[in-house]
Amino acid sequence: MSDEAKAYQDPGTPEEVSRRAFLARATIFGGTAVALTLAIPLVGSLVPKAQLVDANKGFSPLNKDEFAQLEQSIDKPVKIFFNKAVVNGYLREATDYYVWGIKLTDAELADMRKERADLFNPKPGSAIDYPVGNLNFVMFSSLCPHLNCKYDWDSGLGAFLCPCHGSQFNKIGVHMKDARGKYIGPAPRGLDPLPFNQEGGTAQVEWIKFAANTPDIVRMSYW
Protein backbone atom coordinates (compact mmCIF):
# COMPACT_ATOMS: atom_id res chain seq x y z
CA MET A 1 0.00 0.00 0.00
CA SER A 2 1.25 3.36 1.22
CA ASP A 3 3.28 5.15 -1.44
CA GLU A 4 1.98 2.77 -4.05
CA ALA A 5 -1.62 3.46 -3.07
CA LYS A 6 -3.89 3.21 -6.10
CA ALA A 7 -5.95 6.38 -5.67
CA TYR A 8 -2.78 8.43 -5.27
CA GLN A 9 -1.40 7.41 -8.63
CA ASP A 10 -4.20 9.36 -10.27
CA PRO A 11 -3.54 13.11 -10.07
CA GLY A 12 -7.15 13.83 -11.10
CA THR A 13 -8.61 16.71 -13.08
CA PRO A 14 -7.65 20.31 -12.16
CA GLU A 15 -11.12 20.70 -10.56
CA GLU A 16 -10.49 17.56 -8.53
CA VAL A 17 -7.12 18.87 -7.36
CA SER A 18 -8.55 22.22 -6.24
CA ARG A 19 -11.45 20.43 -4.56
CA ARG A 20 -8.98 18.37 -2.59
CA ALA A 21 -7.10 21.49 -1.59
CA PHE A 22 -10.37 22.92 -0.28
CA LEU A 23 -11.15 19.72 1.66
CA ALA A 24 -7.69 19.76 3.20
CA ARG A 25 -8.11 23.36 4.34
CA ALA A 26 -11.60 22.67 5.65
CA THR A 27 -10.21 19.73 7.64
CA ILE A 28 -7.52 21.87 9.20
CA PHE A 29 -10.08 24.57 9.95
CA GLY A 30 -12.44 22.06 11.63
CA GLY A 31 -9.64 20.59 13.70
CA THR A 32 -8.48 24.00 14.77
CA ALA A 33 -12.01 25.02 15.77
CA VAL A 34 -12.35 21.96 18.02
CA ALA A 35 -8.88 22.45 19.50
CA LEU A 36 -9.54 26.11 20.28
CA THR A 37 -12.97 25.46 21.79
CA LEU A 38 -11.31 22.95 24.10
CA ALA A 39 -8.19 24.99 24.76
CA ILE A 40 -10.01 28.05 26.13
CA PRO A 41 -11.68 26.35 29.11
CA LEU A 42 -8.76 23.96 29.58
CA VAL A 43 -6.24 26.76 29.96
CA GLY A 44 -8.69 29.06 31.75
CA SER A 45 -9.46 26.41 34.35
CA LEU A 46 -5.80 26.21 35.30
CA VAL A 47 -5.41 29.87 36.25
CA PRO A 48 -5.48 30.22 40.05
CA LYS A 49 -8.38 32.25 41.33
CA ALA A 50 -7.52 35.49 43.14
CA GLN A 51 -10.85 35.29 44.95
CA LEU A 52 -9.74 32.12 46.74
CA VAL A 53 -6.44 33.73 47.72
CA ASP A 54 -8.20 36.75 49.20
CA ALA A 55 -10.66 34.51 51.09
CA ASN A 56 -7.97 34.05 53.76
CA LYS A 57 -7.34 37.73 54.43
CA GLY A 58 -7.98 38.96 57.96
CA PHE A 59 -6.71 39.23 61.51
CA SER A 60 -6.41 36.28 63.89
CA PRO A 61 -6.18 36.59 67.68
CA LEU A 62 -2.82 35.63 69.18
CA ASN A 63 -2.50 33.01 71.89
CA LYS A 64 -3.27 34.90 75.11
CA ASP A 65 -0.75 33.16 77.38
CA GLU A 66 2.09 33.54 74.92
CA PHE A 67 1.24 37.18 74.31
CA ALA A 68 1.17 37.79 78.07
CA GLN A 69 4.65 36.24 78.21
CA LEU A 70 5.80 38.69 75.54
CA GLU A 71 4.48 41.61 77.55
CA GLN A 72 6.84 40.55 80.36
CA SER A 73 9.78 39.84 78.10
CA ILE A 74 12.24 42.66 77.58
CA ASP A 75 15.32 40.92 76.29
CA LYS A 76 14.08 38.00 74.21
CA PRO A 77 11.67 37.50 71.30
CA VAL A 78 8.73 35.22 72.04
CA LYS A 79 7.23 32.68 69.69
CA ILE A 80 3.46 33.32 69.63
CA PHE A 81 1.02 30.91 68.05
CA PHE A 82 -2.36 31.66 66.58
CA ASN A 83 -4.99 29.51 64.94
CA LYS A 84 -6.30 30.60 61.60
CA ALA A 85 -9.29 29.24 59.69
CA VAL A 86 -8.09 29.01 56.10
CA VAL A 87 -9.88 28.23 52.88
CA ASN A 88 -7.68 25.60 51.26
CA GLY A 89 -9.40 24.98 47.94
CA TYR A 90 -12.52 23.00 48.83
CA LEU A 91 -11.24 22.33 52.34
CA ARG A 92 -11.78 24.68 55.20
CA GLU A 93 -9.07 24.04 57.71
CA ALA A 94 -7.94 25.47 61.00
CA THR A 95 -4.17 25.73 60.94
CA ASP A 96 -1.63 26.73 63.59
CA TYR A 97 0.79 29.47 62.62
CA TYR A 98 3.26 31.42 64.71
CA VAL A 99 5.00 34.75 64.63
CA TRP A 100 8.03 36.01 66.46
CA GLY A 101 6.85 38.74 68.84
CA ILE A 102 9.26 41.46 69.94
CA LYS A 103 8.56 43.98 72.69
CA LEU A 104 10.57 47.09 71.82
CA THR A 105 11.89 49.71 74.20
CA ASP A 106 11.56 53.26 72.93
CA ALA A 107 15.29 53.20 72.20
CA GLU A 108 14.95 50.00 70.17
CA LEU A 109 12.02 51.41 68.26
CA ALA A 110 13.99 54.55 67.44
CA ASP A 111 16.83 52.29 66.35
CA MET A 112 14.53 50.31 64.13
CA ARG A 113 13.07 53.47 62.58
CA LYS A 114 16.60 54.45 61.64
CA GLU A 115 17.95 51.12 60.46
CA ARG A 116 14.83 49.94 58.69
CA ALA A 117 13.54 53.22 57.42
CA ASP A 118 11.83 51.55 54.43
CA LEU A 119 9.31 49.93 56.82
CA PHE A 120 8.36 53.23 58.43
CA ASN A 121 8.33 55.44 55.35
CA PRO A 122 7.11 52.99 52.74
CA LYS A 123 7.14 54.01 49.11
CA PRO A 124 3.71 54.41 47.49
CA GLY A 125 2.43 50.98 46.42
CA SER A 126 4.61 49.15 48.95
CA ALA A 127 3.25 46.00 50.58
CA ILE A 128 3.84 47.70 53.95
CA ASP A 129 0.60 49.71 53.99
CA TYR A 130 0.15 49.26 57.75
CA PRO A 131 1.87 50.79 60.77
CA VAL A 132 4.95 48.94 62.05
CA GLY A 133 5.94 49.01 65.71
CA ASN A 134 2.61 50.28 66.99
CA LEU A 135 2.13 49.87 70.75
CA ASN A 136 5.90 49.11 70.79
CA PHE A 137 5.36 45.59 69.48
CA VAL A 138 6.64 44.01 66.29
CA MET A 139 5.39 40.65 65.01
CA PHE A 140 7.79 39.10 62.53
CA SER A 141 6.62 36.53 60.02
CA SER A 142 8.09 33.14 60.96
CA LEU A 143 9.36 32.67 57.41
CA CYS A 144 12.92 33.59 56.47
CA PRO A 145 12.77 36.14 53.61
CA HIS A 146 15.36 34.11 51.71
CA LEU A 147 13.50 30.88 50.82
CA ASN A 148 10.84 30.74 53.54
CA CYS A 149 12.57 28.36 55.93
CA LYS A 150 11.54 28.73 59.59
CA TYR A 151 14.30 30.55 61.48
CA ASP A 152 14.83 30.37 65.24
CA TRP A 153 16.13 32.61 68.04
CA ASP A 154 19.66 31.61 68.99
CA SER A 155 20.30 32.69 72.58
CA GLY A 156 24.05 32.14 72.22
CA LEU A 157 24.29 34.46 69.23
CA GLY A 158 21.63 36.77 70.57
CA ALA A 159 20.21 36.77 67.06
CA PHE A 160 17.76 35.01 64.78
CA LEU A 161 19.45 32.23 62.84
CA CYS A 162 18.02 30.51 59.80
CA PRO A 163 19.08 26.84 59.73
CA CYS A 164 18.81 26.45 55.97
CA HIS A 165 21.45 28.87 54.70
CA GLY A 166 22.75 30.58 57.82
CA SER A 167 21.26 34.07 57.48
CA GLN A 168 21.35 35.99 60.74
CA PHE A 169 19.06 38.81 61.85
CA ASN A 170 19.22 40.91 64.98
CA LYS A 171 16.34 41.43 67.36
CA ILE A 172 14.83 44.21 65.27
CA GLY A 173 15.05 42.03 62.16
CA VAL A 174 18.04 43.65 60.46
CA HIS A 175 20.05 41.30 58.24
CA MET A 176 23.38 41.12 60.08
CA LYS A 177 26.87 41.61 58.69
CA ASP A 178 30.14 40.02 59.81
CA ALA A 179 33.28 41.82 61.00
CA ARG A 180 34.34 42.51 57.41
CA GLY A 181 31.05 44.08 56.55
CA LYS A 182 29.70 41.14 54.56
CA TYR A 183 26.11 39.97 55.04
CA ILE A 184 25.85 36.73 57.02
CA GLY A 185 23.87 34.39 54.80
CA PRO A 186 22.02 35.01 51.54
CA ALA A 187 18.79 36.70 52.77
CA PRO A 188 17.77 39.52 50.40
CA ARG A 189 16.14 41.69 53.10
CA GLY A 190 15.45 41.89 56.82
CA LEU A 191 12.67 40.02 58.63
CA ASP A 192 9.11 40.91 57.57
CA PRO A 193 6.86 42.58 60.17
CA LEU A 194 3.16 41.67 60.00
CA PRO A 195 0.16 43.91 60.65
CA PHE A 196 -0.54 43.92 64.38
CA ASN A 197 -3.10 45.64 66.57
CA GLN A 198 -5.16 45.26 69.71
CA GLU A 199 -8.90 45.24 69.52
CA GLY A 200 -11.12 44.99 72.58
CA GLY A 201 -8.15 43.86 74.64
CA THR A 202 -7.21 41.09 72.21
CA ALA A 203 -3.87 41.21 70.45
CA GLN A 204 -4.21 40.10 66.88
CA VAL A 205 -2.06 39.69 63.83
CA GLU A 206 -2.74 39.42 60.12
CA TRP A 207 -0.83 36.61 58.49
CA ILE A 208 0.65 37.53 55.13
CA LYS A 209 2.94 35.38 53.06
CA PHE A 210 5.50 37.57 51.32
CA ALA A 211 7.48 36.69 48.23
CA ALA A 212 10.72 34.83 48.94
CA ASN A 213 14.12 36.05 47.80
CA THR A 214 13.13 39.54 46.61
CA PRO A 215 14.77 42.72 47.95
CA ASP A 216 11.34 44.39 48.13
CA ILE A 217 8.47 43.10 50.22
CA VAL A 218 5.75 41.70 47.93
CA ARG A 219 2.47 40.14 49.11
CA MET A 220 1.82 36.63 47.86
CA SER A 221 -1.09 35.22 49.85
CA TYR A 222 -2.76 35.17 53.23
CA TRP A 223 -2.21 31.61 54.33
User: Any idea what DSSP says for residue 213?
Assistant: T
Backbone angles phi, psi at 120, to 5 degrees: -100, -25
* Residue from 18, 26, 166, 202 in contact with other proteins (CB under 8 A): 26
Q: In DSSP terms, which residues pair with 199 in a beta bridge?
A: 202
Pairing of strands 202-206, 196-199: antiparallel
* Residue from 36, 50, 94, 179 in contact with other proteins (CB under 8 A): 94
Least CB distance from residue 20 to other proteins, whole Å? 5
Least CB distance from residue 54 to other proteins, whole Å? 11
Tell me whether residue 51 or residue 121 sits nearer to other proteins (CB atom): 51
> What is the torsion angle, in degrees rounded to the nearest 10, for the CA atoms of residue 192, residue 140, residue 177 and residue 110?
90
* Residue from 11, 50, 51, 201 in contact with other proteins (CB under 8 A): 51
**Number of residues lying near other proteins (CB under 8 A):** 39
Q: Report which of 86, 80, 78 is spatially closest to residue 61, judged by C-alpha positions.
A: 80
Site residues for other proteins, 56-85, by CB under 8 A, read: 83, 85
Distance CA 153, CA 159 (A): 6
Would you give the binding string for other proteins spanning residues 125-144, x where CB under 8 A is met? --------------------
Residue 163 contacts other proteins per CB under 8 A: no
